[in-house]
Chains A and B, each alone.
Chain A
Amino acid sequence: MLATDFMAFHEASRRNGIILSFGGDLSENVLFSLGEVLKLRMQQGATDAAVSKRVFSVFVEQAQNVIRYSADKLVPHGSPDGSMVSAGMIVVGIEDGRFFVACGNEVPGEQVTGLRARLEHIVGLSGDELRKYYRERLRQPADEGSLGGSIGLIEIARRSSAPVEYDFQARGDDRCFFCLKAFI
């Protein structure tokens, strides 16, 4: 029974083209190790070097977003960036011949409106507009409550071959489940 269940899960992942999936508490060390095996997998699959770099870049930005912005934290906000541990999920796979990187995590309900607005704006921009917006944001101080350059989402969009997909699912409490999927 145990093997049947686990094999079904394993086979379903394979069928869906998933090459890496992680769910649980994510730290910078976990990010690093997952990134290393992801690079190795892409090397062995003879993935084009430029594509590999883009996949890796999107993976890092998404994983760091989970670590920094997930509402479900094991090691809380306010601790140094490098020591934060937060729950969420990250998945890398291949769908119709294209790599995708997806992540999911809980966010505080009051942040949904702002996050949705930022994503709507980014999704509506062309490649040239994204580049221009990235340059603008690079020069500006980080947003309130943002630990990184607040340009991680723009970076993800720039490295994607199609507009990023995102969704929010209300949980019935003060948090919302947020997910993001980027095709490279």
Chain B
Amino acid sequence: MDRIQIPATSRSPLVDFDFPAGRLLLRGESYPEDAATFYGPLLQALRACLEEGGGPLTFDVALSYFNSSSAKALMNLFLPLEDAAEEGREVTIRWLYAEGDDTIAEAGEDFAADFSHARFEMVQETAA
């Protein structure tokens, strides 16, 4: 599975899904015109990557804002990761949020509740 890199726009996040390196990243704001069109291909690629098997996988999610359609899409990305972890793959999700951003921190806790096999880490980023 090849690496997927998509630059950020003012309403969609930077995507860097480096499957060969086992590192995935979303960073920015997410309220795309059509969440299904934006996230659908990413979900397909992730599923294909998980089917291939392989080493540890780390997914960094650093979103400063996302709408409800994006929340749904994120959950769709997380579910196969949790399944893969249950089957023995080493999966870590790192939820990055800015210091003082309670809304995003709380959203991370909402997602964290659904993981029992994959590691879900809350990572506070200090303002540069």
- The size class of the interface chain A forms with chain B is 20 to 34
Binary contact readout A134-177 vs B (1 if CB under 8 angstroms, 0 otherwise): 11001100100000110110110000000000000000000000
Shortest CB–CB separation between residue A57 and chain B, in angstroms? Answer: 7
Contact indicator A53/B103 (Cβ below 8 Å): yes
Q: Which residues of chain A from 53 to 83 have a CB within 8 Å of any chain B CB?
A: 53-54, 56-57, 60-61, 64, 80-83
Shortest CB–CB separation between residue B80 and chain A, in angstroms? Answer: 13
- The size class of the interface chain B forms with chain A is 20 to 34
Q: Which residues of chain B from 27 to 49 have a CB within 8 Å of any chain A CB?
A: 31-37
- A149 and chain B: residue at smallest CB distance: B72
CA distance A144 to B103 in the complex (A): 29
Contact indicator B10/A32 (Cβ below 8 Å): yes
CA distance A96 to B113 in the complex (A): 37
Q: Which residues of A contact B113 (CB under 8 A)?
A: 135
- B103 and chain A: residue at smallest CB distance: A53
Main secondary structure of the interface of B (DSSP, over half): helix
Shortest CB–CB separation between residue A158 and chain B, in angstroms? Answer: 9
Contact indicator B68/A32 (Cβ below 8 Å): no
Query: Is A25 part of the binding interface, using a Cβ–Cβ cutoff of 8 Å?
Result: no
| Also in contact, A61 and B68, with CB within 8 A (given A80-B34, A138-B110) | yes
- B111 and chain A: residue at smallest CB distance: A138
Q: Which residues of B contact A57 (CB under 8 A)?
A: 65, 67, 103
| Also in contact, A80 and B71, with CB within 8 A (given A60-B31, A134-B110, A135-B113) | no
- A27 and chain B: residue at smallest CB distance: B33
Contact indicator B33/A82 (Cβ below 8 Å): yes
CA distance A6 to B113 in the complex (A): 53
Contact indicator B68/A152 (Cβ below 8 Å): yes
Contact indicator B103/A60 (Cβ below 8 Å): no
Q: Which residues of A contact B11 (CB under 8 A)?
A: 32
Shortest CB–CB separation between residue A85 and chain B, in angstroms? Answer: 12
CA distance A130 to B113 in the complex (A): 15
- A29 and chain B: residue at smallest CB distance: B33
Query: Is A46 part of the binding interface, using a Cβ–Cβ cutoff of 8 Å?
Result: no
- B10 and chain A: residue at smallest CB distance: A32
Q: Which residues of chain B from 98 to 126 have a CB within 8 Å of any chain A CB?
A: 102-103, 106, 110, 113-114
Q: Which of A36, A60, A82, A154 contacts B67 (CB 8 A)?
A: A60
| Also in contact, A28 and B71, with CB within 8 A (given A50-B102, A131-B110) | no
Q: List 9 A-B contacts (CB under 8 A).
A: A80-B34, A80-B37, A81-B37, A82-B33, A83-B33, A135-B113, A149-B72, A152-B68, A155-B67
What 10 pairs across the A-B complex have the smallest Cβ distances?
Answer: A82-B33, A149-B72, A81-B34, A82-B34, A28-B33, A148-B69, A152-B68, A155-B68, A151-B68, A149-B68
